[in-house]
Structure 1
């Protein structure tokens, strides 16, 4: 008799969980209604550019800081690649500790220096510090260093969920800010921060924040424009394949929806149908295109992007980042190779990758990835 009671109790518990899950899904919003992002006035654009002017040097020094275990891939590499391509500043990638930086969800790089080495070489600090999303948003070393750089007059730029890292330093208190759509509520828990919707980039008194992952592209171009003028930014934008880079954004288009949740659940449950997709790591590879392609494929919940090269030695990218291959092999099976895109300009590389994801896993998964990247399609 007791086993029957236990069996019925377990069945009832499972049924209750299922009912709660179904109710949760039903209550989630459906796909966002189509719409157009509100235009940005010329006055606001000029104010943003004025606020991002180099605070100290004519040729600025820009530091991109990460922690060694799990710093967001595109947040870390895209600003570096675009700013290095522009050649309007000296740009360095940093880590809080010696050794490589394992990026999330893909790639591993050898940074130019540690924060201690940077401080020894540049005691007067950077002009700009770019803060990506970090797996530990309360990392004591990172927070202390960011505060110290702000104290030396650096403009602090929190990319994507890097805004939460900056929030934890206290530097956003009393300021306006934005962040990735998934983390807006977390940012709003800081009562002293004023969240701003419908902007990809918000600047307030020496601290800037952006929306989701792909917003680091317009942010970097805006920084190029603030440093070197419109003509230079337009030239770099043509190279990376981006037509416009102002702060316009439609926040309503990015939210946790029923289709998003169902795709995450379905792709997670299909654990038997995972694949590893190889990307050839070659000398002078464009680090921005590589980051976008590897990031996108690794967010499908169906695949993970891995880099391979003939040897285990780091390969130096177009902009001078040393990228470590995940595996040393002479070749990779063609059917397990990510469709070629890294040779394209970054914006086109991402568009082609999303089309390839659509063809391989369906449009819902492509939309699911674009939503995570907060990329307007």
Structure 2
């Protein structure tokens, strides 16, 4: 344990260099509605379908561990928009473990079968964060799909997976603030600050977890038009999905470094919660709330259903088991739009664990609030 803690402390100390990296990086975006709209339109144009046929979108996962919101949110919104054929793909069919909440889904198709069904490849590959980020089967398949012409979209630390496949080399990029120094090691890359998403020659990248919302809406607009994206944005409680982002707000200082070390050591983690789930449940609200609570470092969450596995609104099958009625329930309201649910969750985290813990969760999710 102590070796792990010292390793985490070393990472925290090294991460202080992020401030100077950001200060010296070329500035590609500034405040202003006109400039932001120009950047958004350029991104949407870069993501427009290259063929007239209904697009194929593969959301890539690693069976052993894939970030929950990075995966569930794009999958749910794209299925709801119905602008493309969407398939969850992993090295092995069946179960995918989601982190940090320790939930599991059973709906992945293996990459070999996907290749058989779609020999021409996918039109888009969405890449969530994975642990580890250098799985050989994942990087080889991703590299092969890119060679066939797929537009690759790395979400949050999924950008690291994109980099492992050699697809960042020589490109402009953004990514989760914590990954910045690692991503800058790839040859010929240029970091773009103050933008939530960036596209460069068939590869798109985003900042942290919450960027999965605007980038998915931008993709939906690129494929299905602004009205389709606007209707879905209103449904989940989003007013705009432009690229504007205050990068300077996110990063490690002395207080945050200590919070990071304590969260990752997590030797006090002891609260086992359940989230009651049922068929047709909203994937987006579930992902955002469970992700936020789990990132406090105090809570481990399991899905509970008296009938066993449930089918979420998107069609993904979520593993669930009966749970003791006395166990603490994750608070979810079916009356709230997903983004409003996230805001309420953050307020509840502050009430239970304090404002500093809420602020750290917002750092991890790279979410500025509304």
Structure 1's 226 and 275: CA in aligned 2 closer, same or farther, altered over 3 A? Answer: same
Q: Deviations over 1:209-248 (max 9, x none)?
A: 0000110110000001111111111101000101111000
Q: Which moved more, 1:169-178 or 1:210-219?
A: 169-178
Is the CA contact (8 Å cut-off) linking 1:179 and 1:210 kept in structure 2?
yes
Q: Which blocks of at least 5 consecutive residues in structure 1 are unaligned?
A: 1-16, 31-35
CA separation in 1, counterparts of 2:278 and 2:241?
A: 29
What is residue 91 of structure 2 aligned with on the other side?
96
Distance in 2 separating the partners of 1:104 and 1:193: 29
2:49 matched to 1:54?
yes
**What does residue 161 of structure 2 align with?**
165
Structure 2 counterpart SS, 1:203: strand
Relative distance call for 1:342 and 1:358 in structure 2 (3 A) is: farther
Matched residue pairs, number?
348
TM-superposed CA distance for 1:249, in Å, is 0.5
Backbone CA RMSD of aligned residues: 2.4
1:350 aligns with 2:342: yes
Match runs of 1:181-330 below 5 Å: 181-265=177-261, 271-272=267-268, 274-312=270-308, 314-325=309-320, 327-329=321-323
Evaluate the alpha carbon distance shift between residue 43 and residue 308 of structure 1 in structure 2; reply closer, same or farther with a 3 A threshold.
same
Change (3 A) 1:24 1:165: closer
Partners in 1 of 2:234 and 2:67 — Cα distance? 25
Deviations 1:322-364 (A, max 9, x none): 1111x323x5326x11122466322111111111111111111
**Kept in 1: contact 2:304–2:322 (CA 8 A):** yes
SS in 1 for 2:65: strand
Moved over 6 A (4+): 27-30
**2:23 maps to which residue?**
none
TM-aligned CA deviation for residue 369 of structure 1: 0.5
Whether 1:144 aligns to 2:132 is no
Closer/same/farther in 2, CA of residues 91 and 29 from structure 1, 3 Å limit: closer
Partner of 2:365: 373
Deviations 1:147-205 (A, max 9, x none): 11112211000111111111111122111111100000000011321111111000011
Distance, in Å, in 2 between the alignment partners of 1:37 and 1:321 is: 39
* Shift of residue 38, structure 1, vs aligned partner: 2.4
Measure, in 2, the Cα distance between the counterparts of 1:57 and 1:168.
31
Q: How many Å separate the matches in 1 of 2:284 and 2:195?
A: 23
- Distance of aligned partners of 1:270 and 1:171 in 2 relative to their CA distance in 1, 3 Å threshold: closer
SS in 1 for 2:204: strand
Taking structure 1 as the reference length, the TM-score comes to 0.86
1:364 to 353, 356, 359: 356
- Secondary structure at 2:339 match in 1: helix
In 2, Cα distance between the equivalents of 1:145 and 1:109?
21
- TM-score normalised to the size of structure 2? 0.88
Structure showing greater radius of gyration is 1
Are the counterparts in 2 of residues 96 and 142 from structure 1 also a CA contact under 8 Å?
Answer: yes
